[in-house]
Structure 1
């Protein structure tokens, strides 16, 4: 099931879908890293943005 782009905010905003190119690109830009590093982080800690930030050494959202 793909993302519903008409729904913004809520829990979907705090999950990283590495299977959607636009999301992967946007998260990488937001977190100041590469898409490959985002994929590595999601593989290691799951798709929750807070966990990915912790893995990447960033404790707070931007």
Structure 2
């Protein structure tokens, strides 16, 4: 539950090239490798609404 807030905080505070941010990026990339599919979204007045999602798996 702490992964994305920590990642966002590093980026926001200018630590893009830090070893910690790179380590978190590697963790995220590895965990998302088997994820596939398509998501359709609608953008309306500052909102993001999921309009559809599809995956072969």
Q: Which of the pair is proportionally richer in helix?
A: 1
TM-score normalised by the chain length of structure 1 = 0.26
Greater RCO, CA 8 A, separation 6+? 1
Q: Which of the pair is proportionally richer in strand?
A: 2
Q: Considering only CA atoms, is the larger Rg found in Structure 1 or Structure 2?
A: 2
TM-score normalised by the chain length of structure 2 = 0.28
